[in-house]
Amino acid sequence: MGQVQAISSCSYVNVLLRGSIKSSPRIQDKFWCSKKLDSLQELGVKASEFNGVAIAHSRSSFASPCATHAIQAVLGNDKATTSSAVVLEKPLRKKLNKVVLAYSGGLDTSVIVPWLRENYGCEVVCFTADVGQGIKELEGLEAKAKASGACQLVVKDLQEEFVKDYIFPCLRAGAIYERKYLLGTSMARPVIAKAMVDVAREVGADAVSHGCTGKGNDQVRFELTFFALNPELSVVAPWREWEITGREDAIEYAKKHNVPVPVTKKSIYSRDRNLWHLSHEGDILEDPANEPMKDMYMMSVDPQDAPDQPEYVNIGIVAGIPVSLNGKDLSPATLLSELNEIGGRHGIGRIDMVENRLVGMKSRGVYETPGGTILFTAVQELESLTLDRETIQVKDSLALKYAELVYAGRWFDPLRESMDAFMENITKTTTGSVTLKLYKGSVSVTGRRSPHSLYRQDISSFESGDIYNQADAAGFIRLYGLPMRVRAMLEKGL
């Protein structure tokens, strides 16, 4: 059987092939040939022509400039045993110029910065999106990023864009995932990923990176957005590549590379916060039988501790989109922020659910969405005035698919965009106001008004009127019930 010996320098691989070619019956003796190959991939292709499997090992990454590499490969068949004296220390990775990293300043993303530089030989531009996670999350980020080895930090305030272009369309569509989840994290990921693509263009980056694990939904949401908006960008997901398996490994790597380890206390929960919601996962919540601890919640008070007096709020809505609170016009982000504060003090918007992740597993999460819960109730109640029965039924059926697309990270999918055009058109008459009563965790509707209301008191009243003749109901009932009468007649032999 054939053998391959290769000596590689920085730019090419010299290969000596020695063996017999089974595919050519005319050549039976051993032969020698020498050729320069441009890459290890070509080495593998050439080796396969000799009916063997090429196994290449290197002492260092080929991304290192002008490094000398010794490669030995043995072509074996099903009777021979493959062997090599050299062991791979690191996987071979392509050389990148500049990477934009979704950066939070926590342990994971702080470690990713030097890891990218070490394994891809690239500059790292850290990017942080302000989607309403709180000012404390943004403090000292630039110093942390540069101390980790980043060349710069870019921060963008996306709060108004997040609410106006992502949250409100979902609200208008009535998108709720698996009966409960108001899609807080799902809506935030595409607006962040879109901004990363924009930053990559601005700084001349050829790749983007994120710190999402290989078990969650967020990796899909980020990467589908990258694919949709700039398919030429390379995507690096360290959690799917590196050997770090947990917090202790990450701390050890950070110390080894002189990266300041964040000194903030590690939460026992995995949390994600933005202007729409706050999610809690992990620790005791991993057992669905455990009740959440009272001190876990951060956006809302325990309903038992809420004020003993109800509070009334009035939400103004134009074409399915909230525009005002108690008669005062507010920007999207400001409106939501104020409702979060009001709803939070009344214990509004807590849900506890077991959901099906996109990757196949079930997970248990607890969500706080005070302002969002108030807005969802208001919009749906106004639709009860402005939409007819068939329209509501079709809209509700499409809302399920809409929510699935958003949850799965397909925000920029043409299907969702087409469905959004339908939602925009169908709710153009959903204009008016809704008055709600907030009391100890509950939201109840006390009044609705709309200039486009399909509700007519003169028709709906029990009093007789000219528009609706009660005697007409007899003929309607006979026709409407005809299939049931025919079936009954058949069963009785009539």
Residue 90, pLDDT score: 55
- The whole-angstrom separation of Cα 321 and Cα 166 is 12
Q: Are 347 and 306 in contact (CB under 8 A)?
A: yes
Could you report the per-residue pLDDT of 98-119, keeping only the tens digit for each? 999 999 999 999 999 999 999 9
Buried b (16+ CB within 10 A) or exposed e, 91-121: eeeeebebbbbbbbbebbbbbbbbbbbebbb
Q: Are 243 and 111 in contact (CB under 8 A)?
A: no
Is 295 designated active site? no
The alpha carbons of the chain give a radius of gyration, in whole angstroms, of: 31
Which of 108, 130, 272, 420 is the catalytic position? 108
Could you report the per-residue pLDDT of 243-292, keeping only the tens digit for each? 999 889 999 999 999 998 876 666 789 999 999 999 999 999 999 999 99
Is 189 designated active site? yes
DSSP tag of 144: H
Mean pLDDT over 89-105 rounds to: 83
- The whole-angstrom separation of Cα 98 and Cα 207 is 6
Instruction: Classify 60 as helix, strand or coil.
Output: coil
% residues pLDDT > 90 (the chain) = 72
Q: Which amino acid, residue 153?
A: L
- The whole-angstrom separation of Cα 396 and Cα 370 is 22
- The whole-angstrom separation of Cα 357 and Cα 6 is 47
Angle at 302 between CA 296 and CA 303, to 5 degrees: 150
Residue 263, pLDDT score: 62
Phi-psi region of 483 (alpha: psi -120 to 50; beta: other; left: phi over 0): alpha
Q: Which run of H or of E encompasses 191?
A: helix 184-203
HSE on the CB side for 181, CA within 13 Å? 25
* Residue where the block lists tokens 């850290």: 126
The yes-or-no verdict on residue 139 having pLDDT over 70 is yes
Mean pLDDT over 297-314 rounds to: 98
- The whole-angstrom separation of Cα 446 and Cα 193 is 40
Is 218 designated active site? yes
Mean pLDDT over 198-214 rounds to: 97
Which of 189, 273, 350, 448 is the catalytic position? 189
Mean pLDDT over 189-201 rounds to: 98
- The whole-angstrom separation of Cα 21 and Cα 28 is 7
pLDDT band of 464, cuts 50, 70, 90: low
The more confidently predicted of residues 189 and 459 is 189
Point out which residues pair with 156 in neighbouring strands. Answer: 129
Could you report the per-residue pLDDT of 394-427, keeping only the tens digit for each? 999 999 999 999 999 999 999 999 999 999 999 9
Instruction: Classify 410 as helix, strand or coil.
Output: coil
The yes-or-no verdict on residue 73 having pLDDT over 50 is no
Closest CA to 345 of 293, 302, 289: 302
DSSP tag of 443: E
Which structure tokens are listed for 104?
Answer: 């939070």
Closest CA to 449 of 377, 384, 372: 384
pLDDT band of 469, cuts 50, 70, 90: confident
Is 8 designated active site? no
How far are the Cα atoms of 60, 66, 125, 216, 275 from residue 63, in angstroms, in the given order? 9, 9, 20, 30, 42
The yes-or-no verdict on residue 74 having pLDDT over 70 is no
The least confident of 44-58, 290-304, 460-474 is 44-58
Mean pLDDT over 465-481 rounds to: 87
Q: Are 5 and 72 in contact (CB under 8 A)?
A: yes
Q: Are 317 and 323 in contact (CB under 8 A)?
A: yes
DSSP tag of 167: I
Could you report the per-residue pLDDT of 32-53, keeping only the tens digit for each? 333 334 443 443 333 333 333 3
Residue 260, pLDDT score: 87
Which of 60, 234, 270, 384 is the catalytic position? 270
Closest CA to 137 of 283, 259, 267: 267
Which of 218, 300, 350, 364 is the catalytic position? 218
Could you report the per-residue pLDDT of 230-242, keeping only the tens digit for each? 999 999 999 999 9
Residue 465, pLDDT score: 65
The mean of the pLDDT values for the chain is 84
Q: Which residues contact 322 (CB under 8 A, 6 or more apart)?
A: 168, 171, 315, 316, 332, 335, 375, 378, 379
Angle at 184 between CA 179 and CA 189, to 5 degrees: 125
Of 1-10, 132-141, 198-207, 451-460, highest mean pLDDT: 198-207
* Residue where the block lists tokens 């962040």: 192
The yes-or-no verdict on residue 331 having pLDDT over 90 is yes
The more confidently predicted of residues 85 and 114 is 114
